[in-house]
Amino acid sequence: MVEDSFVDERLLKKVPRWRNYLAAKLGFRNHWYPIMFSRELGENEVVSRKLMGEDILLKRIDGKVHAIRDRCLHRGVKFSEKVECYTRNTVTCWYHGFTYRWEDGTLCDIIASPNTPIIGKKAIHSYPVQEAKGLVFVFVGDADYEPHPLSQDVPPTFLDDTMEVHGSSYMVQSNWRLGCENGIDDLHIYLHRQSPLVPNTQRSLPLGHTDRPVDFFELHEEQGQPKGVSTRTFKDAAPMAYEGRVEGKIVVTGTKMHQTPEEAAKKRTTGHYICMPGVLRVDNFPFVGRFQFEWYVPITEDSHLYIITIGKPCANDEERAEHEHEFWHRWKPVSLEGFNNEDVFAREALQPFYEHDQNWLEETLVTEDNGIIMWRELCHRNGPSVQKPSDII
């Protein structure tokens, strides 16, 4: 990949307002990404995970998680092919005994060549790591970029002290951007009309939306804040479609609960907030008083890790225990694997079209897709650090 871009320059030129987004097949650097749940990495355990095309080796030492590139400086083999840890604080390559410190990646010893001058002078890339709300976040960044606080890379309220979060993750066979775009797509609710979540929660679910105000979406680009797009709350102002017509006849209906059709057509209880590097908050979902936080983490060009969490502000241990129980016994089967599996189906169905880069210019977006365009342009403005082939290979 001598040109060092995943996408042909001639195509990028055609979308000047979102060229960085089109180029970002493997995401944007200089951001915090969740790589796994904290519960998946025990003390002294070593695991290898791919993130944005980079192989990363993680170990938990004295409770703290460390992350280094899973690739020996010397000849590029993966440590994880055969993990050797002679001391708690180091990992040794199985091939020639190159030994690195977990702390900072320093090459501290070479067993097969103990007097080599480069010892102590070279280091493998080590990634800043932070744990929050049961997730392990890794900062994939450039050498000259000082990591910003995690709070700039998650939607507001996620880090609130009272927010109790539980979740699960799924590997999806589509590019991460298709995850984002399906997530913020207002119209795809049609897809979910027969979801088991609807009878379970006894909530209304329209088939779509109509006549949204032009300023329905709000941009967030303040310095030091998450960069994102959210829906405004328009009480009595965002009509919904509950009746689906084909050639003038009603052929399908949405679900209206405990309300007159007029009420149902106007009341909107959910809303969303997506921010870079690809994380969405859905308010009052899967039920009133809950917040779904979900990530679309780039893994390879054609797969992303779909991390779904449900947060609920809790005042005490009893509420926390109740929320935890509800997550595992209600939301995971009914919402994550009932409702959100339909989203996974859709994203994987989008992949054969969008995997051809030129097809990003062949889609036919409608007025109601303006939130998607706002998101693309926001990423372009705020994401100059596109992950490039040379970052991976």
Write out the binding residues for a second copy, residues 196-235 only, by CB under 8 A: 207-211
Q: Which stretch binds a second copy (CB under 8 A): 144-152, 154-162, 237-245, 280-288?
A: 237-245
Q: State the Rg of the chain over Cα.
A: 23
3-state secondary structure of 290: coil
- Least distance in Å: CB of 23 to a second copy? 15
Residues 100-119 within binding reach of a second copy (CB under 8 A): 108-118
Residues 304-333 within binding reach of a second copy (CB under 8 A): none
Q: In the set 38, 48, 97, 300, which binds a second copy (CB under 8 A)?
A: 97
Residues 169, 175: contact at Cβ < 8 Å?
A: no
- Least distance in Å: CB of 84 to a second copy? 9
| Alpha-carbon span 153 to 383, nearest angstrom | 12
**Listed residue (83, 161, 180) closest to 378, CA to CA:** 180
Q: In the set 47, 48, 78, 157, which binds a second copy (CB under 8 A)?
A: 78
- Least distance in Å: CB of 338 to a second copy? 16
| Alpha-carbon span 204 to 325, nearest angstrom | 24
Residue type at 341? Answer: N
DSSP code for 308? E
- Least distance in Å: CB of 306 to a second copy? 18
Residue type at 17? Answer: R
Q: In the set 75, 232, 325, 329, which binds a second copy (CB under 8 A)?
A: 75
364 contacts a second copy (rule: CB under 8 A)? yes
Q: Which stretch binds a second copy (CB under 8 A): 73-81, 214-222, 290-298, 311-319?
A: 73-81
- Least distance in Å: CB of 72 to a second copy? 9
Residue type at 14? Answer: K
Burial pattern 112-136, b for ≥16 Cβ within 10 A else e, equals eeeeeeebeeebbebbebebbbebb
- Least distance in Å: CB of 308 to a second copy? 20
Q: Which helix (H) or strand (E) holds 264?
A: helix 261-266
Q: State the number of binding residues for a second copy (CB under 8 A).
A: 74
- Least distance in Å: CB of 390 to a second copy? 8
Query: CA dihedral in degrees (83, 89, 92, 98; nearest 10)?
Result: 160
Residues 106, 120: contact at Cβ < 8 Å?
A: yes
**CB-wise, 244 or 271, nearer to a second copy?**
244
- Least distance in Å: CB of 337 to a second copy? 18
Q: In the set 368, 370, 377, 382, which binds a second copy (CB under 8 A)?
A: 368
> What angle is formed at CA 363 by the lines to CA 359 and CA 368, rounded to 5 degrees?
150
352 contacts a second copy (rule: CB under 8 A)? yes
- Least distance in Å: CB of 362 to a second copy? 7
| Alpha-carbon span 233 to 213, nearest angstrom | 11
Q: In the set 50, 74, 267, 320, which binds a second copy (CB under 8 A)?
A: 74
**CB-wise, 10 or 39, nearer to a second copy?**
10
**Listed residue (23, 53, 47, 71) closest to 129, CA to CA:** 47
| DSSP conformation letters of 352-363 | HHHTSGGGGGT-
**CB-wise, 165 or 280, nearer to a second copy?**
280
Q: In the set 44, 86, 104, 221, which binds a second copy (CB under 8 A)?
A: 86
**CB-wise, 82 or 325, nearer to a second copy?**
82
Residues 162-201 within binding reach of a second copy (CB under 8 A): 185, 187-191
Residues 251-280 within binding reach of a second copy (CB under 8 A): 251-252
- Least distance in Å: CB of 45 to a second copy? 20
Burial label for 156, CB within 10 Å (0-12, 13-18, 19+), is middle
| Alpha-carbon span 376 to 261, nearest angstrom | 35
14 contacts a second copy (rule: CB under 8 A)? no
The sheet that has 126-127: what strands, in order across it? 46-51, 54-61, 64-69, 126-127
Q: In the set 48, 61, 95, 391, which binds a second copy (CB under 8 A)?
A: 95
**Listed residue (99, 137, 142) closest to 120, CA to CA:** 99
